[in-house]
Amino acid sequence: MLIYYIPIVWLFTLSNIKLGKHKNLLEKITVFLLGIFLCTTYFTGSDWRAYEKLYELNSFENLGMLYGEIGYHVYSLIFKSLGFDFWYFFIITKLWCFYIFYKKIKERSNNIFFVLMLCYFYIFLYLFIDCPLRNLIAVGIFLLSENFLLKKKYIKYYLFCILAFLFHKSSFFMFFLPFVKRISKINRFILFGLLIIANIIFLDKNLLIKLIELLPFGLDMRILKYSGGRYFESSIFSLGNVEKIVIILFILFNKNKILKFKEYNKYLISILIIYYIFYRLSFIISIFGRFGTYFIIYYIFNINLIYDFFKKNINKKSIIIFFFMYGILMIYKTTLTTYNYLPYTSYLSYIFKEKPSYQYRKNYAFYKYIERRGKDSYIEKYLK
């Protein structure tokens, strides 16, 4: 378990010290090692079990007949036809997506190590270690499309929208983003009032289900199949929710000053509101968290706005320390309460060894979970 704390401690350290002429070298080394750590996992995660079987079954003869979007199957078939086995395909794809994240972070942040630290516990552990692969690829395509959206090159942007949709249908919202920038022009008190109303409305599950049924492209059925069991929750009180409300309050009450810094901040504030709506919806039906994966990096960029907002070094360091401690808590909670993260295993350690069987790898994390927490209802269904 301690291995998951090494990256955040390292990034926290680099965030707090002046690196001088060594900054670029340390940045490259850090990004390289973080990419290897996140992208070469082997027994960890959950969705790889299904993706490995899909990769084996995928062929030109049954193209479009397997579960998942057609774009993903065409993409994986390219690798398969070139002779790559599943794990090389899996690792290369994750590395490509990680590089896209890195380039976007480098483009949008002054303290790259602080933003990488935030990304590590907010999103990287989920996207790269648990790894909902089609969702991850669609997020990568979404990040690539951002500059076309901002430069109003809408034909190129919509081509990326179509491409992302061919990998994961949750990306359908991309078609509407050219209109969201106007959100930042709404009065801050009206925005906060609307968020309060949204919180109240989404307490009614039946109303939410009726709204979901209006969605096109079969999305209503895909979402509503998660309207029971562990995917249907009603709690709105959590540390994470309070944290996000505090961030939004700070951004909204300082909106006029923040908007003067950069034109890009209009986009950030608009996306922040959308992200919070999806985040809030995920408390009722947690599959909405898949939609939030596209926007959470912009929530992180909003935290970075707060970091940049303060000029005094003591305030900046206080923000870094707070989120470091919060990140430690999140990592502890994330890694211990599911089977997806422990124990950490890397494909690199098996390169020159005989590979374990699929059945062994499939059940490895389940039995390790039982050793830690005992056999409960959560894990029993995976052992059937």
**Within this chain, do residues 331 and 278 fall inside the same structural domain, yes or no?**
no
Question: Residue 232, Cα to own-chain centre: how many angstroms?
Answer: 20
Rounded distance, CA 295 to CA 146, Å?
12
Q: Are 56 and 121 in contact (CB under 8 A)?
A: no
Average pLDDT over residues 39-66: 89
Alpha-carbon distance of 316 to 320, in angstroms, equals 6
Residue 268 has pLDDT above 80, yes or no: yes
At 254, the pLDDT band (50, 70, 90 cuts) reads confident
pLDDT for 93-112, tens place per residue? Answer: 999 999 999 999 999 888 99
Is 41 in the same domain as 127?
yes
What 8-state DSSP symbol labels residue 99?
H
Do both 97 and 63 map to the same domain? yes
Say if residue 17 is in the same domain as residue 78. Answer: yes
Considering the domain boundaries, does residue 326 fall inside one?
Answer: yes
* Between 154 and 233, the higher pLDDT residue: 154
pLDDT in the model for residue 218? 67
120 and 247 inside one domain: no
Looking at 292, 323, 345, which one is the last position of a domain? Answer: 292
pLDDT at 234: 47
The overall average pLDDT reported for the chain is 86
Residue 305 lies in a domain: no
Domain assignment present for residue 175? The answer is no
Q: Is residue 146 part of a domain?
A: no
Quote the CA–CA distance of 161 and 174 in Å, as a whole number: 6
Report how far residue 202's alpha carbon sits from residue 210's, in angstroms, rounded to the nearest whole number.
Answer: 11
Tokens at 172, concatenated? 């359908």
> Which pLDDT belongs to residue 229?
44
- The more confidently predicted of residues 78 and 21 is 78
Residues 6+ apart with CB under 8 A from 10: 30
8 A C-beta contact, residue 66 and residue 54: yes
- Structural domain contains residue 302: no
Q: What is the pLDDT of residue 267?
A: 86
Whether residue 97 is found in the same domain as residue 204: no
Taking only the tens place, the pLDDT of each residue in 282-300 is 777 767 777 889 999 999 9
Give yes or no for residue 236 having a pLDDT over 90. no
For residue 212, give its domain range: 186-292
Residues 234 and 354 in one domain: no
pLDDT score recorded for residue 205: 67
> Do residue 202 and residue 242 come from a single domain?
yes
In this structure, the answer to whether residues 215 and 267 fall within a common structural domain is yes
* The residue type at 14: L
Where does residue 347 rank: exposed (0-12), middle (13-18), buried (19+ CB within 10 A)? middle
**Within this chain, do residues 288 and 318 fall inside the same structural domain, yes or no?**
no
In a domain, 58, yes or no: yes
**Together in a domain, 18 and 116:** yes
For residue 34, the tally of other CB atoms under 10 A from its CB is 20
How far is the C-alpha of 347 from the C-alpha of 352, rounded, in Å? 10
The reply to whether 239 falls in a domain is yes
* 273 alpha carbon, distance to own chain's centre: 17
**For range 326-339, the mean pLDDT:** 90
DSSP 43-105: S--STHHHHHHHHHH--STTTTTSSS-HHHHHHHHHHHHTT--HHHHHHHHHHHHHHHHHHHH
Comparison of pLDDT for 127 and 312, the residue scoring more? 127
Whether the predicted pLDDT of 382 surpasses 90: no
User: 29 near 114, Cβ under 8 Å?
Assistant: no
Tell me whether residue 59 is in a domain. yes
Into how many domains does the chain fold?
Answer: 2
Per-residue pLDDT averaged across 347-363, rounded?
Answer: 89
Contacts of 245 (CB under 8 A, 6+ apart): none
Question: Is residue 340 domain-shared with residue 285, that is, in the same domain?
Answer: no
